[in-house]
Amino acid sequence: MTGLTDRQRDIIQVAIRIISRKGIQELTIRNLARDLGITEPAIYRHFQSKSDILAAMLEYLHRDTIAIFDQVQDGESALDRLRDYFSRLFERLRENPATAAVVFSDEAFMNDDRLAATVRALVELTIDNTTNLLTLARENGEIRADVDEYDLATMLAGGVRLLVRRWHMSGNGWDLAAQGRSVIETFVKLVEVPR
């Protein structure tokens, strides 16, 4: 399905963990090999280059984020689907906090055009998903029509991003989902059209 072997998946998981715990500067082939319990050249059996590992890692996160969006139920109101979407994002982060770090390591990918494009797409994905749901909400008359949707998406996605960033920097020391829900509900309160 994903075109990845078991070993490749191992490598990606360990890479994500290293980035999460020590930062992307510590993601070296040496450290990767050590944590995997194999030698450095062995890694090159599974990926042609370090850049390929990072690309596969980003692609994996991309797919995962798409999958989360796809899981969001159809039947609900657009605002409920928005709530559902972010709940699932928070859920994934709680289960696998390491993924958060990768998204904030984007600067590290600047040198490699392919990686830069991929991580950019990853960031845009959440914004696009958010924008689409907001557009739907407006069409449904669930939210006020006198404000720019794109600005709303920027604030919501940006706010959540900032929240996750601080949660990560705090060492995941508090309940992201609770804080996240609070932000989402505040947002809804601001934009919702009273029925």
Partner DNA sequence: AATGAATGAGACTTCATTCAT
Partner DNA sequence: CATGAATGAAGTCTCATTCAT
Q: Minimum Å distance from CB 137 to its own copies?
A: 14
Nearer to its own copies among residue 127 and residue 177 (C-beta): 127
Annotate 84-94 with b (16+ C-beta within 10 A) or e (fewer). bbbbbbbebbe
Binding string to DNA for residues 4 to 33, with x set by CB under 7 A, is what? -x-x-------------------xxxxx--
Contacts of DNA in 28-67 (CB under 7 A) = 28-31, 38-42, 44-46, 48-51
Q: Which does 162 bind (CB under 5 to 8 A by kind): DNA, its own copies, none?
A: its own copies
d(CA 4, CA 88): 24
Q: What residues have CB less than 8 Å from 39, skipping those under 6 apart?
A: 33
Query: By C-alpha distance, which of 72, 190, 179 is closest to 142?
Result: 190
Nearer to DNA, 37 or 173 (CB): 37
Based on the shown chain and the rule CB under 7 A, indicate whether residue 91 belongs to the binding site for DNA: no
**Residue 186 touching its own copies (CB under 8 A):** yes
Q: Are 27 and 33 in contact (CB under 8 A)?
A: no
Q: How far is CA 23 from CA 26, 41, 119, 131, in A?
A: 6, 23, 16, 31
12 versus 18: smaller Cβ distance to its own copies: 18
Q: Which is nearer to its own copies, 73 or 111 (CB)?
A: 111
Q: Considering the complex, what minimum distance in angstroms separates the CB of residue 119 from its own copies?
A: 9
| Contacted entry of DNA, its own copies, none for residue 41, CB cut-off 5 to 8 Å set by kind | DNA
Farthest-apart Cα atoms in the chain, separation: 63
25 binds its own copies per the rule CB under 8 A: yes
- Give the one entry of its own copies, DNA, none that residue 192 binds, where binding means its C-beta sits below a cut-off of 5 to 8 angstroms depending on kind: none
Helices (H) and strands (E) in the chain, counts: 9, 0
